[in-house]
Amino acid sequence: MTILREKMIDIMTVKSLSPATQQSYLYAMTCLAAYYHLSPDKLDQDDLQRYLIYLVKEKKLAANSCRLQLQGIRFFYRNVLKRPAIDLAVFAPKLPLRIPELLTQSEVLRIVNAPENLKHRTELKLCYSCGLRISELVNLRVNGIDGERCRIKVEQGKGAKDRFVPLSEEMLDQLRVYWRMFKPTDKLFCGYTPDRSVSRSSVSKLFMRTKLQVGIKKQGGIHSLRHAFATHQLEGGLPLHLLQRWLGHNNIHTTMRYIHWVPNYQNGQRHFVNLLSREIDHELS
């Protein structure tokens, strides 16, 4: 391991970057060094811009992939080499502003109620009814469930932030049934052994398999459930600042994109919608 790579890993660890983010950033720097056959500290801004152009024109990488590479490169030059000016001269393609194929509430309920396996059904229902990222779902702990206050604690979500998300009575009852059957002691959803969480890939494959089984052909992986949570809560009149808090967004502008996906949104005073009921059951326009 080179000194620069080791230093980068140390800084990412101190900043509490997720393992996936660390791997992505290291991969970006490995590709950059391999392209020039030089240590990254020997490159200047012109070299970096030529590399981004190469990714777009010759490698034909999508805008999102280019920006992921750029994020890793910027992190290295800002934090390891202390070159803050790197932000000024290197550009990547704009991300296309596309609205995903949003699931209606009736479609989501067909998916989350379909699995016969109680554990699988609970995983999908909880992911949807609380708007969780898959990384947050698999890291939930039993002691994070607060039945008295009807909420669940999401520990070390994106950005290493803890937050609380409301639980409906229906979801809480489902969790109680699940606990009585499986008796988890630490990790809420265990993998092959009680001390290991279920893997992200396992839950992701469960969602895709179940969606196919119920005949829904819309594009999108398990993150579609988080999008559905956001849009369906807004349809129910949830104030935007509460949605921001429950989704764990730092910036309100990140949350505001959902308003563009729900053109009939009226900011209301309603504070929570039990999405596992059939209270909202119409197509998004």
Q: At 152, which amino acid appears?
A: I
In CATH, what number is assigned to the domain containing residue 36? 1.10.150.130
Q: Which residue out of 158, 163, 200, 245 is catalytically annotated?
A: 158
| Residue 146 bridge partners (DSSP) | 151
d(CA 227, CA 237): 16
According to DSSP, the residues that pair with 157 across neighbouring strands are: 161
Identity of residue 66: C
Catalytic residue among 133, 151, 187, 211: 133
In this structure, the answer to whether residues 180 and 251 fall within a common structural domain is yes
Concerning whether 158 is annotated as a catalytic residue, the answer is yes
Q: Are residues 118 and 227 in the same domain?
A: yes
Rounded distance, CA 277 to CA 139, Å? 26
Q: Residue 157 is part of a domain; what is its CATH number?
A: 1.10.443.10
Most confident of 17-26, 86-95, 192-201, 213-222: 213-222
- For residue 135, tell me if it sits in a domain: yes
Domain tally, the chain = 2
Distance CA 223, CA 229 (A): 10
**Domain check: are 82 and 221 in the same one?**
no
User: Would you tell me how many other CB atoms lie within 10 Å of the CB of residue 32?
Assistant: 21
Q: Which of 67, 200, 223, 245 is catalytic?
A: 223
Q: What is the pLDDT of residue 222?
A: 95
Q: Kindly report the CA angle at 38 between 36 and 39, in degrees rounded to 5?
A: 130
Active site residue 5: no
Question: CA–CA separation, 112 vs 100, rounded Å?
Answer: 19
Q: Which amino acid is at 139?
A: N
- Is 257 inside any structural domain? yes
Domain of 9, in residue numbers: 3-89
- pLDDT digits over 191-240, tens only? 888 888 999 999 999 999 999 999 999 999 999 999 999 999 988 888 88
Report yes or no on 152 lying in a domain.
yes
